[in-house]
């Protein structure tokens, strides 16, 4: 068998007797020869194990996608060609000798460029750090390298991860792969767009208020915000410690589970890290979900929805009702939570001095936010500095306490289901006009995602529809703390029930055009 025949055979094995490279009538065909960058992470892993592909094959395919597509989508800040190919060669030698580190062995992934790498710059998409190379890898990067993942690129983001659109990056906005006139979502927009276009087979983002789930929803991929503390934040940021999580992004729920399996683990250097048993999330995808009770929290989360989002989510809820025990409206009570002003000390502890010394090194919206936060702390009407810091400490304790007790709010149901975002992605033009203007008001609400950062709960966004103009829509499912295995199993069951799994743009920047790979299983 030649290389192409082996590739198709490996993909067919992964597809329960159906070639995953098959394309339904009327859909666009994949590139001649079957580009390895079009495989899911799980398919690529099986192809490496079978000998059909090498890590070098996959890495070159993803680097080729970056070279071809990045000028249009702007998902990548730093391609890591030399480093990635050196990693791939080493891992290929191990594979040839029969050594496989994990399901990620030889698989190219990208990292949001606020996650530290010792062999490439970590810029935070800011001119302030354009030449900054950290002394060591982030904790999660060390884990992924040990698992055999190949770091192929550092992905674009909103400067210092403070925007939900990515329009504030020093390297320019990330564009939506389904329609480049629109944003990809942020702040991990580069990670979401890179996965959607095959520039990598999986990616990491960070999420302080929706920054993994929003780009996942708007790029038509899957994104998981884990329970607070389950994945170490060591070497990521700077951000807001009690809200931040690092999360995986993939084309399918299985891809996310395979990444997540290698990301979790206690980090004694991270004060927010928690020590927990580590289940096999990928193996658990087939656990039964038929007894699950799903609650639909209409109040707040379904108010002022875009009609197309409402239609898609309603269809998703009907699909879920076919595979679980019950789907019913519920009152989800979480108590009172603070406004965003409590984040000022966290952000200014890092930015205070550089902002005072080099304010022009920041993008306009970031600069406005820093000024607003500085004014909050300097406001003489707000009390003394010591009073403000005491209030901040009390607020953090209140959030931490709510995170520890929120499981009690799941009364009579195990999972919540709701729209990931209330709106479709705005245009890049509108985002730039909004974020480079004089104010700090966001272009759209992130309340559907932000609340679960404040509560510390895990949340998974899965594709659930396309607008009439071909823009992706996401469904979010949320569970009790440390219920990631349940969420992933439910997400996988939803994928099998519907036909959204595997849909993606044909090529970076292709407008309203997709490959539908016939993956209903």
For residue 33, name the pLDDT band (cuts at 50, 70, 90). low
pLDDT of residue 348: 87
The phi and psi torsions of 22 (rounded to 5 degrees) equal: -70, 145
Q: Which of 34-48, 179-193, 374-388 has the lowest mean pLDDT?
A: 374-388
C-alpha–C-alpha distance, residues 382 and 500, integer Å: 50
For residue 239, name the pLDDT band (cuts at 50, 70, 90). confident
For residue 501, name the pLDDT band (cuts at 50, 70, 90). confident
pLDDT of residue 214: 98
DSSP string of 116-183?
A: --TTS---TT-GGGTT---SS--HHHHHHHHTT-EEEEEE--SGGG--SSSTT-TT-PPEETTEEEEE
Structure tokens at 188: 């991990």
C-alpha–C-alpha distance, residues 416 and 111, integer Å: 29
Rounded mean pLDDT, 440-451: 86
For residue 381, name the pLDDT band (cuts at 50, 70, 90). low
- Select from 242, 204, 200 the least CA-distant residue to 223: 204
More confident residue, 365 or 257: 257
Omega before residue 187 within 30° of 0, cis? yes
| 187 among known catalytic residues | yes
Rounded mean pLDDT, 249-254: 98
The phi and psi torsions of 77 (rounded to 5 degrees) equal: -90, -50
For 128: left if phi > 0, alpha if psi spans -120 to 50, otherwise beta; the answer is alpha
Catalytic residue among 163, 169, 184, 187: 187
Query: If 0-12 CB within 10 Å is exposed, 13-18 middle and 19+ buried, where does residue 491 land?
Result: buried
For residue 456, name the pLDDT band (cuts at 50, 70, 90). very high
Structure tokens at 208: 């302080």
- For residue 32, is pLDDT > 50? no
pLDDT of residue 380: 60
* Chain segment 148-159, per-residue pLDDT in tens: 999 999 999 999
More confident residue, 23 or 423: 423
Residues 6+ apart with CB under 8 A from 222: 216, 249, 250, 251, 252, 253, 255, 256, 460, 461, 462, 463, 491
DSSP string of 432-484?
A: HHHHTSS----SS--HHHHHHHHHT--EEEEEEEE-TTS-EEEEEEEESTT-H
Strand, coil or helix: 372: helix
CA 347-353-355 angle, 5° bins: 75
- For residue 58, is pLDDT > 90? yes
* Chain segment 272-313, per-residue pLDDT in tens: 999 999 899 999 999 999 999 999 999 999 999 999 999 999
Catalytic residue among 112, 154, 388, 422: 112
C-alpha–C-alpha distance, residues 489 and 15, integer Å: 18
Angle between helices 447-455 and 385-405 (to 10 degrees): 90
Catalytic residue among 45, 169, 211, 232: 211
pTM of the model: 0.91
The structural domains of the chain, with segments of one domain joined by +, span 3-13+35-269+280-337+401-515, 340-400
Average of per-residue pLDDT values in the chain? 88
Residues 6+ apart with CB under 8 A from 334: 402, 406, 409, 451, 455
* Chain segment 383-421, per-residue pLDDT in tens: 676 777 787 788 888 899 999 999 999 999 999 999 999
Classify domain 3-13+35-269+280-337+401-515 by CATH architecture: Alpha-Beta Complex (3.90)
Rounded mean pLDDT, 3-32: 32
Structure tokens at 433: 């006009």
Structure tokens at 101: 């580190």
| 211 among known catalytic residues | yes
Q: Residue with structure tokens 């009770």?
A: 293
Structure tokens at 33: 């020869």
Query: What are the angstrom distances between the C-alpha of 379 and each of 119, 342, 392?
Result: 42, 14, 15
The phi and psi torsions of 245 (rounded to 5 degrees) equal: -145, 150
| 112 among known catalytic residues | yes
C-alpha–C-alpha distance, residues 408 and 165, integer Å: 34
Strand, coil or helix: 304: coil
* Chain segment 68-94, per-residue pLDDT in tens: 999 999 999 999 999 999 999 999 999
Strand, coil or helix: 266: coil
Inter-residue contact 440 to 372 (CB < 8 Å): yes
CA dihedral in degrees (346, 347, 351, 355; nearest 10)?
A: -130
Residues 6+ apart with CB under 8 A from 455: 334, 337, 402, 403, 406
């Amino acid at each position: 068998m030649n290389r192409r025949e082996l590739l198709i055979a490996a993909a067919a094995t992964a597809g329960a007797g159906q070639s995953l490279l098959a394309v339904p009538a009327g859909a666009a065909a994949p590139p001649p020869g079957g580009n390895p960058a079009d495989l899911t992470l799980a398919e690529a892993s099986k192809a490496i194990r079978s000998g059909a592909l090498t890590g070098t094959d996959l890495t070159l395919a993803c680097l080729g996608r970056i070279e071809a597509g990045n000028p249009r989508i702007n998902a990548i800040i730093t391609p890591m060609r030399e480093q990635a190919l050196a990693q791939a060669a080493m891992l290929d030698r191990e594979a040839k000798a029969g050594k496989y580190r994990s399901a990620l062995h030889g698989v190219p992934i990208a990292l949001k460029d606020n996650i530290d790498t010792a062999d490439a710059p970590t810029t935070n998409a800011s001119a302030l750090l354009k030449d900054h190379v950290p002394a060591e890898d982030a904790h999660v990067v060390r884990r992924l390298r040990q698992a055999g993942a190949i770091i192929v690129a550092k992905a674009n983001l909103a400067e210092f991860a403070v925007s939900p659109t990515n329009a504030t990056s020093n390297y320019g906005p990330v564009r939506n792969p389904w329609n480049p006139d629109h944003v990809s979502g942020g702040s991990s927009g580069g990670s979401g767009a890179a996965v959607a276009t095959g520039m990598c087979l999986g990616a990491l983002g960070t999420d302080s208020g929706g920054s993994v789930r929003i780009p996942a929803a708007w790029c038509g991929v899957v994104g998981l915000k884990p329970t607070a503390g389950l994945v170490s934040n060591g070497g990521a940021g700077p951000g807001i410690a009690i809200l931040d999580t690092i999360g995986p992004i993939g084309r399918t729920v299985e891809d996310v589970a395979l990444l997540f399996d290698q990301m979790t683990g206690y980090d004694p250097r991270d004060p927010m890290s928690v020590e927990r048993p580590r289940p096999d999330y990928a193996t658990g995808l087939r656990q039964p979900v038929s007894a699950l009770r799903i609650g639909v929290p209409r109040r707040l989360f379904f108010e002022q929805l875009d009609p197309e989002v409402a239609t898609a989510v309603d269809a998703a809820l009907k699909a879920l009702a076919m595979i679980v025990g019950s789907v019913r409206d519920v009152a989800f009570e979480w108590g009172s939570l603070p406004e965003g002003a409590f984040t000022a000390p966290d952000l200014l502890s890092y930015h205070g001095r550089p902002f005072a010394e080099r304010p022009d090194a920041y993008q306009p919206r970031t600069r406005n936010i820093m000024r607003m936060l500085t004014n909050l702390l300097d406001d003489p009407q707000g009390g003394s500095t010591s009073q403000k810091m005491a209030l901040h400490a009390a607020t953090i304790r209140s959030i931490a306490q709510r995170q520890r007790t929120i499981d009690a709010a799941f009364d009579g149901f195990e999972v919540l289901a709701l729209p990931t975002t209330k709106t479709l992605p705005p245009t890049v033009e509108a985002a730039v006009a909004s974020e480079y203007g004089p104010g700090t008001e966001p272009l759209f609400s992130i309340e559907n995602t932000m609340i679960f950062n404040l509560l510390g709960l895990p949340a998974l966004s899965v594709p659930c529809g396309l607008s009439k103009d071909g823009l992706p829509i996401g469904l979010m499912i949320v569970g009790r703390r440390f219920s990631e295995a349940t969420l992933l199993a439910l997400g996988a069951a939803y994928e099998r029930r519907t036909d959204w799994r595997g849909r993606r743009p044909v090529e970076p920047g292709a407008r309203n055009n997709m490959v539908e790979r016939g993956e209903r299983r």
